[in-house]
Amino acid sequence: MLKKLFMLIVAGFFLVSCAATNTEQGGDVDAASASSSSSSGGEITAGTQEDLIVNVGDRVFFEFDSSELTVDAQATLDAQAAWLMQYPDTNITIEGHADERGTREYNLALGDKRAFSVYSYLAQAGIDTNRMEYVSWGKERPEVIGSDETAYSQNRRGVTTVSN
Amino acid sequence: MHSIRNMFMIKKILIFLFISLNANAALEVTIAQGKVEPTPIAITQIFGADSDTARYGNTLRQIISNNLTNSGLFYTVNEDLYIQSENLVEKVPRFEDWKLIKAQFLLSADVSKIDKGIRLRMRLYDVFNAKEIEKLQLTIPDENLIRRVGHTVSDIVYERITGETGYFDTRIVYVSEVGPLDQRVKRLAIMDQDGHLDSHQFLTDGKNLVLTPRFAPNNQIITYMEYKNNLPRVYIYNLKTGEREIVGDFPGMTFAPRFSPDSQSVVMSFSDPNTANSEIYLMDLNTRALSRLTNDSGIDTSPSFSPNGEKIVFNSDRGGSPQLFIMDKNGGNIKRISKGKGVYGNPVWSPRGDLIAFTKLTQGNFHIGVMDINGNNERVIVRDFSLESPAWSPNGRYLIFHRQKRSNLDGTGGEVTLHFIDITGYNERVIPTPRDGSDPAWSPLL
C-alpha cells in the first residue's frame, strides 16, 4: 500500500516536472532525477522499483512508429544494466507502449518490438534473460493523458518494472 | 447466461413456426451508390386485444419503425396522418387512403395470446400497385422473444422491399469501457444491433483487459484478445455454452484474431518471443494445426479473409510505413494494394467480397474508407481526429466503427462511442451503449 502511495507521489512529481520542462528527448532521466532530489527526503530501499525510478530512470522513449533505441535511451539502459548487475536477485518485466495515433493491433505489435528492444539491449549488456520478461500494452496504458505530441512523446515508451 | 441460452432457442422456434402464406417474388428496388431517398412506409398500430398484447404491439411497432428508419432506406409516415385506422390483417386496405398520404408501402399486424404462446400476424402491402406482397404469422412461447420478433419482421420487410438481405436480427459484440484513460477497465459486451438497453449484456467482468472481439461468420462464437495473468493471448468465447478457451499455447503474444469464412479456423498475429516480430498464422480450431502465412522482418497484422476463403488482406509495414497487402490463403502471392498517401490499417473484407474497408491516418486525421480489392477506387466514408475498427454489417451495406474524442492532460475528454454508417457515407448514427464503447463487431444473422 505504502509502496503504491510512494509511486503515485513520484509519478505526480514526474508529471509536473515534465510539463514544466517540456523536454522532447531524454526528459525522462532529467525529470526522474529532478523529482528524486525534491520528493524523496525519506528512505528509498535499494534495489526496489522506487530506487530504479528515482536513481536510475525506469523508462526510455521512442520516436513515432519506431522501436529503435535513441542515444539517450541507450544511456538510460546502460545505467539500468549496471543497476541490475548490482542487484542480481532482482527480476524485471519490460513493458512496451505506444501513443494513440495508430490502430490497436498495429500498436500491440509496435509495443512488443519496443519492449524487445529494451530486453535485447539489456541482454547484450550482460543481464541474464532468465531475469527478464517483456510484454506489450500497445496504446492501452498511456502514461500521460492527452491528444498532443507532449503526451504522445511520453507514451511511446519502454518501462522497466521490478517483478519480484 | 440463462437469457443467452434463451436467445439461441428462438432461432429454431422461428424456423419451425414461420408460416409464410404468400411467396411473391421480391420487389426489386435497385439501390445505386449515392444518397438514397428513403421510401415512405406506413405502419399501422399493431393491434392487441388485451393490455399485454397491446403492450407487445407497441414495442413491436417501435422496434420495426426504428429499425427501418435507422437503415436510411425507409421512413415511417407519421401516424397522425393515417386516414384508415383499422386492423388490416384480415381486411383489404383502402389503398387510395394510403396513396393520399404518400405511403408507398403499408405494414399492418396484430398480436394475440394463443395456447402455445404469443402469435403475431402480419401483412405487407404495396400501396401503389394495390396488392399484398407478404403475409405471415409466427408464434413465440413467451414475451422474452418479442424483440427478436420485431427484428425478424423488420428483416422480412427490408428484404421484400429492397431485395437485399436484412441485418436487423443480429447482435453487436464490442468492448465496454469505463474509468480513467490510463487505467481503462474494458469488458466484452453484447447487444442487439440497435443497441437497445434491454438486450445489453456484459460477457466479462472487467478484471482482465480485453480487446478486439470478432464474430464467427457462421455461428455464435467470438474470438478476442485478453490479458489473462498479464499475458496477451487470443481466446474464443462460445456464446451458447459460455465456455472460454485460449487459442493455442504460444510462447509470445497472439493478437488480431479473425475467423475464416467457414468459422473453423482463426487467422491471427503471433509475435515471436525471440525477435518480437509479428507474423500471421492460421490455426485450425478442430485439429489445432498451425500454419505460418507470412515471413518478413516487418510487422504483419490485422488479417481478414475474403468471404470465399481464397485470399487474406492484412496490414504490414514491410515497405516502411503501414500499408495494406493481399495474399493467397497459404501466404503466397503477396501484393500491396493501398495506393494513397498515409498510414493504413484495420483492413476488413466485405461479406459481399467486392470491397475492403480500412482506416487511414493522414494530415492529422483518421479516415474510414473502402477500396476495391485491387486497391482501386479508394473513397473516404468518414473522417475525424480518431476513428478505428471498421466492421461490416452481414449484408455488406453498412459499417460500424468507433470514434474517440481528443483527451486532455487533466484526464477529461477521450470519450469513445460506436457509430453506424451507410457505405455511401450518408446516414451516420450513434449506436447507444450504457458506457463508452469501442472495437465493435457484427454477428451473422441469427
B192 and B108, same structural domain? no
Tell me the C-alpha to C-alpha distance, in Å, between residue B177 and each of A12, B433, B439.
25, 10, 10
From B115, B139, B162, give the residue that closes a domain: B162
Dist CA B97 CA B95 (whole Å): 5
From B139, B162, B185, give the residue that closes a domain: B162
B73 and B36, same structural domain? yes
B264 pLDDT more than 80: yes
Dist CA A98 CA A93 (whole Å): 17
B315, B408, B409 ranked by CB distance to A106: nearest: B315
More confident residue, B271 or A41: B271
The grid coordinates of residue B233 equal 493471448
User: Which chain A positions have a beta carbon within 8 Å of B277's beta carbon?
Assistant: 113
User: Which chain B positions have a beta carbon within 8 Å of A130's beta carbon?
Assistant: none
What is the model's pLDDT at position A164?
A: 82
Decide if B386 and A135 are in contact by the 8 Å CB cutoff. no
B33 pLDDT more than 60: no
Dist CA B292 CA B187 (whole Å): 30
A102, A115, A141 ranked by CB distance to B345: nearest: A102
A69 pLDDT more than 90: yes
The total domain count for chain B is: 2
CA angle B432-B434-B436, nearest 5°? 80
B205 and B152, same structural domain? no
A106, A144, A147 ranked by CB distance to B301: nearest: A106
Decide if A140 and B184 are in contact by the 8 Å CB cutoff. yes
What is the model's pLDDT at position A159?
A: 98
B219 and B76, same structural domain? no
What is the model's pLDDT at position B31?
A: 40
What is the model's pLDDT at position A31?
A: 39
Residues 6+ apart with CB under 8 A from A78: A125
The fourth-level CATH superfamily of domain A2-162 is OmpA-like domain (3.30.1330.60)
**Residue B290 half-sphere exposure toward CB, CA atoms < 13 A:** 13
Structure confidence by residue, pLDDT tens digits, A98-150:
999 999 999 999 999 999 999 999 999 999 999 999 999 999 999 999 999 99
Structure confidence by residue, pLDDT tens digits, B55-110:
999 999 999 999 999 999 999 999 999 999 999 999 999 999 999 999 999 999 99
Chain A (34-63) residues lying within 8 Å, Cβ to Cβ, of chain B: none
Kindly report the CATH number assigned to the domain that includes residue B129: 3.40.50.10070
- Mean pLDDT computed over A35-64: 83
- Mean pLDDT computed over B153-181: 97
B121 pLDDT more than 60: yes
Dist CA B330 CA B311 (whole Å): 8
Decide if B407 and A136 are in contact by the 8 Å CB cutoff. no
B7 and B89, same structural domain? yes
A105, A112, A141 ranked by CB distance to B276: nearest: A112
B194 and B234, same structural domain? yes
The grid coordinates of residue B431 equal 449506436
Structure confidence by residue, pLDDT tens digits, B224-238:
999 999 999 999 999
Nearest chain A CA: its distance from B204 CA (Å): 18
B143 and B180, same structural domain? no
- Phi/psi at B45 (nearest 5 deg)? -50, 140
pLDDT band at A43 (very low <50, low <70, confident <90, very high): confident
Q: What is the mean pLDDT of chain B?
A: 92
Nearest chain A CA: its distance from B413 CA (Å): 8
The domain containing residue B80 runs over which residues?
2-162
What are the extents of the domains in chain A? 2-162
State the best of B228, B278, B365 to mutate against chain A, taking most chain A CBs within 10 Å.
B278
- Mean pLDDT computed over B187-199: 97
What is the model's pLDDT at position B304?
A: 98
Q: Residue B413, by phi and psi: left (phi above 0), alpha (psi -120 to 50) or beta?
A: left
B211 and B91, same structural domain? no
User: Which chain A positions have a beta carbon within 8 Å of B388's beta carbon?
Assistant: 103-104
Q: How many CB pairs under 8 A join A and B?
A: 111
CA closest to B299 among chain A residues? A109
Structure confidence by residue, pLDDT tens digits, B337-356:
999 889 999 999 999 999 99
Nearest chain A CA: its distance from B360 CA (Å): 9
B24 and B112, same structural domain? yes
What is the model's pLDDT at position B116?
A: 86
Dihedral sign computed on CA atoms, order A141, A146, A149, A154: negative
CA closest to B408 among chain A residues? A146
- Least confident piece of the model among A37-41, A153-157, B133-137, B155-159: A37-41
- Strand order of the β-sheet with B387-392 is B387-392, B398-404, B416-422, B429-431
Kindly report the CATH number assigned to the domain that includes residue B241: 2.120.10.30
State the best of B186, B258, B271, B314 to mutate against chain A, taking most chain A CBs within 10 Å.
B271
Dist CA B297 CA B313 (whole Å): 18
Dist CA B187 CA B19 (whole Å): 40
Determine contact: A95 vs chain B, CB below 8 A: no
ipTM of the complex: 0.91
Alpha-carbon dihedral B247, B249, B250, B255, rounded to 10 degrees? 20
Decide if B439 and A109 are in contact by the 8 Å CB cutoff. no
More confident residue, A41 or B249: B249
What is the model's pLDDT at position B249?
A: 84
Tell me the C-alpha to C-alpha distance, in Å, between residue A120 and each of A56, A68, A116.
19, 11, 6
Q: What is the mean pLDDT of chain A?
A: 83
Alpha-carbon dihedral B76, B80, B86, B92, rounded to 10 degrees? -50
